[in-house]
Amino acid sequence: MTITQPDLSVFETLESEVRSYCRGWPTVFDRAHGSRMYDEDGHEYLDFFAGAGSLNYGHNNPVLKRALLDYLERDGVTHGLDMSTTAKRSFLRTFQDLVLRPRDLPYKVMFPGPTGTNAVEAALKLARKVKGREAIVSFTNAFHGMSLGSLAVTGNAFKRAGAGIPLVHGTPMPFDNYFDGTVPDFLWFERLLEDQGSGLNKPAAVIVETVQGEGGINVARAQWLRALAELCERQDMLLIVDDIQMGCGRTGAFFSFEEAGITPDIVTVSKSISGYGLPMSLCLFKPELDVWEPGEHNGTFRGNNPAFVTATAALETYWTDGSAMEKQTRARGEQVEQALIAITEENLADVREYRGRGLVWGLEFHDKGRAERVARRAFELGLLIETSGPESEVVKLLPALTITPDELDEGLTALARAVRETA
């Protein structure tokens, strides 16, 4: 692909140095549809990133777009704080009928604000309020957001350093397979809980991702998650599952914890819940935990009604028959896995490991700088992929759930070429 130099001057001179994704993809995007993005010069890119998991149903999904345009055309309420609106009512009823009831989940629904970190902050605050304790346990290589409470339970040293103040009341524990199977699960955690001299204050809650996305696509085993849920119940700690990136069908089932057969006390959901890339998040919790006073946690943009509209359309379109959606995602995931096996066999000495579930996969190299070189070469080949892990050492694949098998093959072929050409 021949790429002319785009005009990036205004971004480079006016926009903050904090910008990141645009540095890896140095072009100016103009249009997007499905799994394709187009820059202003008409170059086409296959998107294997899907808005960091915010676009599970692709860019400008036509069904969702039609619902949104119809709503806006009739002057439907756009900004509603936490007022009752027809759009919110439709979403709540649909979410209850298609997601909660079929899974026998009793959750109350809270709209904490538009972003994932808003949901995490609400979850942590609620857990502390319910239990009357401050400490929260998180896990190595976790990522839960960039606001202070969320950063306190995030593992990445670079992101934590940006806080500028001590991040307190969060204690990390080893994630599944952190010691490569040499230490029994939760040995250290349970010892600290039981030892009066350990210095660990009794935690209010434990927060966990079933698949750590930003942490390097680290997949927790179902039995590890079940053991964690049992430990939380035994020790009177709430279990919070952060499903912000891995929920909404990313791993197959609507919620990523379904495979383990557990029912968390609190669940955070965001990213693809609106289905259209519109900001929206949920904090779900068991009814007995709903101890909030009116207005005790609020936010100006917690009532994003256009997001409620597209969220309802997404649920009705893709989750009326959730088993079909789950089956399709797992089939696409198997297609990705077969391609990663072939890449691994071809580059036996270089690939450390591939891992994933559903349609989230990671490819890790022994050379920690290799992943960024692969992503850069992939961009030149017209494929948008990102890296993850504490040292950006993992190539991260996060295509839309609606991607076609042919598009998936096309992207995986480009990935294999990028790996080959960066050896």
Q: Residue 267 sits in a domain of what CATH number?
A: 3.40.640.10
Residue 83: predicted pLDDT: 97
Asked if residue 121 belongs to a domain, the reply is yes
Give the pLDDT band of residue 423 (cuts 50, 70, 90). confident
Residues 388 and 376 in one domain: yes
Q: Return phi, psi of residue 41, to 5°.
A: -95, 5
Which residue's entry shows tokens 């103009």?
30
| pLDDT beyond 90 at 356 | yes
Residues 44 and 23 in one domain: yes
Q: Which residues contact 215 (CB under 8 A, 6 or more apart)?
A: 140, 141, 142, 143, 155, 156, 175, 209, 388, 389, 390
Give the pLDDT band of residue 9 (cuts 50, 70, 90). very high
Range of weakest confidence among 10-24, 271-285, 321-335: 10-24
Asked if residue 2 belongs to a domain, the reply is no
Residues 337 and 397 in one domain: yes
Residues 170 and 292 in one domain: yes
Residues 227 and 363 in one domain: no
* % of the chain at pLDDT higher than 90: 96
pLDDT in tens, 362-401: 999 999 999 999 999 999 999 999 999 999 999 999 999 9
Residue 347: predicted pLDDT: 78
Determine whether 394 is exposed, middle or buried from the number of CB atoms within 10 Å of its CB (0-12, 13-18, 19+): buried
Residue 2: predicted pLDDT: 54
Calculate the average pLDDT of the chain: 96
The CATH code of the domain that includes 336 is: 3.90.1150.10
| pLDDT beyond 90 at 5 | no
Q: Domain ends where: 259, 294, 320?
A: 320
Residues 313 and 331 in one domain: no
Q: CA 75, 76, 78 angle in degrees (round to 5)?
A: 105
Asked if residue 67 belongs to a domain, the reply is no
Mean pLDDT of 75-91: 97
Residue 155: give the domain boundaries.
Answer: 76-320
Amino acid at 182: T
Three-state SS string over 102-151 comes to HHCCCCEEECCCCCHHHHHHHHHHHHHHHHCCCCEEEECCCCCCCCHHHH
Asked if residue 297 belongs to a domain, the reply is yes
Residues 117 and 201 in one domain: yes
Amino acid at 400: A
Give the pLDDT band of residue 348 (cuts 50, 70, 90). confident
pLDDT in tens, 309-336: 999 999 999 999 989 999 999 999 999 9
Residues 14 and 81 in one domain: no
Asked if residue 41 belongs to a domain, the reply is yes
Mean pLDDT of 113-138: 97
Give the pLDDT band of residue 4 (cuts 50, 70, 90). low
| pLDDT beyond 60 at 1 | no
Q: Domain ends where: 320, 341, 371?
A: 320
| Tokens at 10, concatenated | 């205004």
Asked if residue 69 belongs to a domain, the reply is no
Asked if residue 66 belongs to a domain, the reply is no
Helices (H), ranges, 281-404: 305-318, 322-346, 370-380
Asked if residue 199 belongs to a domain, the reply is yes
Mean pLDDT of 66-88: 97
| pLDDT beyond 60 at 164 | yes
pLDDT in tens, 131-141: 999 999 999 99
Residues 338 and 306 in one domain: no
Residues 130 and 253 in one domain: yes
Residues 219 and 269 in one domain: yes
Residues 347 and 383 in one domain: yes
Count structural domains, the chain.
2
Q: Domain ends where: 256, 286, 320?
A: 320
